[in-house]
Amino acid sequence: MPTAALEALRAALDATGFIDASAPEAKRYLHDWTGDYLGAALAVLRPRSVEQVQALMRICAEHRIPIVPQGGNTGLVAGAVAGGPPSVVIVSLERLNRIREVDAANFTLRADAGAVLQTLKDAAESEDMLFPLALGAQGSCQIGGNVATNAGGINVLRYGMTRDLVLGLEAVLPDGNLWQGMTGLRKDNRGYDLKQLLIGSEGSLGIVTGVEVKLFPRPANVETAYLGVGSFADAMALFGMARRVCSDLLTAFEVIGSECIALATLSNPETRVPLGGEWPVHVLMELGCSSAIDGRALLEALLAEAFEAGLLGDGTIAQSRAQARAFWAIREDLVEGQAKRGRHVRTDLSVRLSEVARMIEEARSYVLSNWLGWEPIAYGHAGDGNIHFNVMPPLALSAEEVRDRGGDLLDGLYGIVRGLGGSFSAEHGVGRSRRAVYWEWLTPEQRKAVAAIKAAFDPMGIMNPGCLLSG
């Protein structure tokens, strides 16, 4: 164990910046929030300035100590925890957490990488603006982690992934130098757009230390509808119509297979579906606009046209914010209900919008034909082509059996998606848990390009080994 290196790291930080791996307070940095991954590390480092990040990067580079950068540690693919033997340090950005500036006239906000997403959203709202990135973990995930993983969420439909929201970046590269790109410019066409490489690189190329993001006008007028339709194909046709009628003012278009309702009820027995009659597919749709636009009339015009076209079975427009929250609660409760149901097979699939219905149909048919007693469910961000097609195991199976057999089931689902030209990771990333399938699907040219970029930025391979690339 490189004691000299650890002493140098300790000296580069303040007293509370260095946590011994054996200390009780180190524990929460060593496992991911699912509890499935428990790593080990030499130490946990908590820099509180960009200069400290540079200093520790230089020490680690000198001593060849691998670094695992960690934000809010809310990822779903084990990208921010150490995977192998305890030869790495965890670098937590949690103390580098200031909102640096809101530039209201530029519709932008600058923040340290460790600032919690919710604090960015609050800072925007205090200027009557919106930072639209919205995910379940927004109360604890950090903007630097959102950038490193190109986080998605429920507002991607209108505002895009994190990549689309980033106007500037600042990062410490593996040689300890600061890469400065916090321009805040909307148009800047000078050569390679290097920040695009860091976005979504999962800590494998450097440590993001600062971010400048786009803000948007806050929609004063939000309308929410809960709809019942006859099939996923109808839901997708309705989506196409909704885009056209609503001029891309839609902020969400979520589908929920009716089989998910039992899971929502498992989490919340008070669950009431606001539909008359049984419909195989539910759609939760939201649009946002300024007070100068009559959002209610727009939504009503859409629903009338959809009903006329035979795409819509039944539906309710929320009459209050409370009712809108109740609609969204069904979507949130079904996720909770899955967790309550126990270990299951989870996916984060995407295909072209024109293949969503087919993908769900093929996957469902595959499970029902081949996996007796396993129950497929489908829900997700249909407007983005992103479906969480999950499978609940027979209740009699143990967690170990579910894990073991679930791997084969997952392979089957991935095969279907691959055949349709889709992705096994629409938004969760690759991390450690999806690395094998990631490399398996890459073409030789793509493998070569990925390896070349890694080698160009991190020739010693000290950045997050085992995540995205092999360790």
Q: Which of positions 373-412 make contact with a second copy (CB under 8 A)? A: 381, 384-386
Least separation, in Å, of the C-beta of 193 and a second copy?
6
| Residues of span 57-96 touching a second copy by CB under 8 A | none
Q: Beta partners for 108?
A: 103, 214
- Is the CB of 13 or the CB of 360 nearer to a second copy? 360
* By the rule CB under 8 A, 444 interacts with a second copy: yes
Type and span of the H or E element at 252? strand 250-257
Q: Which two tokens stand for residue 98?
A: 């200031």
Measured from the CB atom, the residue of 197 and 262 that comes closer to a second copy is: 197
Question: Sheet containing 314-317: which strands, arranged edge to edge?
Answer: 314-317, 221-229, 281-289, 250-257, 375-381, 386-392, 349-350
Distances in whole angstroms, Cα of residue 394 to Cα of each of 150, 212, 334, 369, 375: 34, 47, 18, 15, 8
Binders of a second copy in range 108-147 (CB under 8 A): 108, 128
Supply 428's token pair: 């969760």
Cα–Cα distance measured from residue 326 to residue 357, given in angstroms and rounded to the nearest whole number: 27
**Half-sphere exposure at residue 181, Cβ-oriented, CA atoms within 13 angstroms:** 24
Q: Which of 45, 273, 283, 298 binds a second copy (CB under 8 A)?
A: 298
Q: Does 243 bind a second copy (CB under 8 A)?
A: yes
Q: Are 206 and 173 spatial neighbours (Cβ–Cβ below 8 Å)? A: yes
Q: Pairing state of beta strands 386-392 and 349-350?
A: antiparallel
Span of 45-53, 260-268, 314-322, 425-433 interacting with a second copy by CB under 8 A: 425-433
Mapped onto helix, strand or coil, the DSSP state of residue 269 is: coil
Return the range that interacts with a second copy (CB under 8 A); candidates 82-90, 215-223, 260-268, 312-320: 215-223
Q: Rule CB under 8 A: is residue 37 a binding residue for a second copy? A: no
Q: Identify which of residues 66 and 429 has a Cβ nearer to a second copy in the complex.
A: 429
Q: Does 301 help bind a second copy (rule: CB under 8 A)?
A: yes
Residues 173-192 that bind a second copy (CB under 8 A): 173, 177-181, 183-192
Min dist. Cβ of residue 211 to a second copy (A): 16
> Interface with a second copy includes 308 (CB under 8 A)?
no
Does residue number 455 form part of the binding site for a second copy (CB under 8 A)? yes
319: contact with a second copy by CB under 8 A: no
Among 19, 61, 91, 351, binds a second copy (CB under 8 A): 351
Q: Segment near a second copy (CB under 8 A), from 64-72, 170-178, 265-273, 324-332?
A: 170-178
CB of 191 to a second copy, least distance (A): 5
Question: Three-state SS for 223?
Answer: strand
For Cα atoms 345, 348, 352, give the angle at the middle one, nearest 5 degrees. 135
Which residue is listed with tokens 């030869």? 87
Which residues, including other chains, have CB under 8 Å from residue 333's CB and lie 6 or more apart?
Answer: 263, 264, 265, 267, 268, 271
Q: Which is nearer to a second copy, 282 or 381 (CB)?
A: 381
Residue 361 Cβ, how far from a second copy at the closest point, in Å? 15
Decide if residue 217 touches a second copy (CB under 8 A): yes
Pick the closer one to a second copy by CB: 31 or 163. Answer: 163
Q: Which is nearer to a second copy, 354 or 398 (CB)?
A: 354
Please identify, using beta-carbon distances, which residue of 94 and 202 lies nearer to a second copy: 202
**Toward a second copy, which CB reaches closer, 59 or 235?**
235
Q: Smallest distance, Å, CB 356 to a second copy?
A: 9
207 within 8 A of 99, measured Cβ to Cβ: no
Contact segment (CB under 8 A) with a second copy among 50-58, 92-100, 158-166, 388-396 equals 158-166
Q: Which of 224, 222, 251, 221 minimizes the C-alpha distance to 324? A: 224
Q: Is 402 or 430 the residue whose CB approaches a second copy more closely? A: 430
Do residues 49 and 91 touch, judged by C-beta distance below 8 A?
A: no
Residue 182: alpha-carbon gap to chain centroid: 23
Among 104, 339, 368, 436, binds a second copy (CB under 8 A): 104
Residue number with CB closer to a second copy (11 or 456): 456
Q: Does residue 457 touch a second copy according to CB under 8 A?
A: yes
Q: Strand (E) positions, 83-142?
A: 89-92, 99-103, 108-112, 129-130
Judge whether 217 and 290 are in contact, CB under 8 Å.
yes
Find, among 150, 148, 151, 166, the residue nearest to 213 by Cα.
166
Count of residues touching a second copy (by CB under 8 A)? 94
Cβ neighbours of 7 (radius 10 Å): 12
In the complex, what is the shortest distance from the CB of residue 138 to a second copy, in angstroms, rounded to a whole number? Answer: 18
Residue 354 in the binding site for a second copy (CB under 8 A): yes
What CA–CA distance (Å, rounded) separates 74 from 118? 14
H or E, element range at 341: helix 321-341
- Name the segment binding a second copy (CB under 8 A); options: 112-120, 138-146, 403-411, 435-443: 435-443
- DSSP letter at 177 equals P
The residue (of 333 and 384) whose beta carbon lies closer to a second copy is: 384
Query: Binder to a second copy among 309, 456, 460, 470 (CB under 8 A)?
Result: 456
Q: Is 293 in the site for a second copy (CB under 8 A)?
A: yes
